[in-house]
A = this chain, B = another copy of it.
Amino acid sequence: MSIGIGVIGAGVMGSDHARLIRSHVSGAQLVAVADADPARAREAAGDARVDTDPLKLIDSSDIQAVIIASPDHTHGDFVLAAIHAGKHVLCEKPLAATSEDCLRIIDAERKAGLKLVHTGYMRRYDPTYRELKATLRAGALGKIRILHNQHRNRAAPDWFTADMAVTNSFVHEIDISRWLLGTEFKAVTVVAFTSDRPEAAADPLLITLEAENGAIVSTEVFLNAGYGYHVHAEAVCERGGVRMGQPALTSVLYEGSDRAAFPANWIPRFADAYRLQDQAWVNAIRGGSLDANASSSWDGYMASYIAEKTLEALKTGRRIALQVPQQTG
């Protein structure tokens, strides 16, 4: 039995999900794609149907599960609609426009009595992060004392702001840090590089999260690092550490140096993570549940909540306390 999937949004992310469901995920079938631009919906859909109304797509009887990859501010409403229709939903990050909206989703899901929401923090499926977590779990190293994250992009568009560095990039680091540490955080501080050109965005940011168990998470987010896309993590523990290698399969001996290439952006870097996430999501739906490794609606809320507090820390220059409500879901 194959799961019928609808994709809402046919931009970069939506098209890629559609391609994965069509050709790389076992046990699923792309049924329909919806986008405000019918031409790009058509292109993403392949042999599948094009729907003009996302809400109609959600309600279609031949669609058991929905992937939401429409513009960020529309996520929350589509997720709610999917929950009300009793459909499984994989929503690209962020889960909703604000953390308050995320809480509404959690509430709706609780009322539905079903775990239907998978937030698309796909790094949880990246083989490198998984190997890192498996090493931590194996126990020889003891608990994490400090986790260093580095999130570097080659170049951000001109209109990119320090706020977006938090809400678009740092949210991934929040989710993966919670996943690696298995703990919540009690405070956040931000130090920003300040250029002498006042119009330039503060870039990089150095963000410190203090965990409830005493551990420290230090994250550099640098959107104009110039040389390539470079995501790196190193966990330093009581009796040793574990860190990512350079993510290159080969190196080239050329013009005086041994060169290991960086990926151009997140798409080649996390290609396997997206595929494995979508496959795990489909497998879990076939079993009637949410994948145990998924970022849930609660995780989606936490990422958005901490990002909001990080923005406050950035703007005030102060250490901001985090208040984690009891998770009741």
Contacts and interface: CB of A to CB of B under 8 A. Distances in A.
Interface string A207-230: 010100111101010101111101
B236 A204 contact: yes
12 contacts: A128-B249, A145-B193, A146-B206, A193-B214, A227-B239, A227-B241, A227-B253, A227-B257, A228-B253, A228-B256, A244-B249, A245-B248
B228 A131 contact: no
Contacts of A243: 250-251, 253
Interface in A237-286: 237-262, 264, 279, 283
A204 B217 CA distance: 12
- Per assembly, the copies of the chain total 4
Contact of A242 (B224, B225, B240, B252): B252
A interface SS class: mixed
A319 to B, nearest CB: 8
Contacts of A85: none
A73 interface: no
Contact of A254 (B140, B195, B215, B248): B140
Q: Which 9 A-B pairs have the closest CB atoms?
A: A241-B253, A240-B254, A257-B259, A226-B239, A128-B249, A227-B240, A194-B214, A227-B253, A258-B260
A228 B252 CA distance: 12
Nearest to A140: B254
A276 to B, nearest CB: 10
Contacts of A224: 238
Interface stretch (A24-32, A86-94, A97-105, A321-329): A24-32
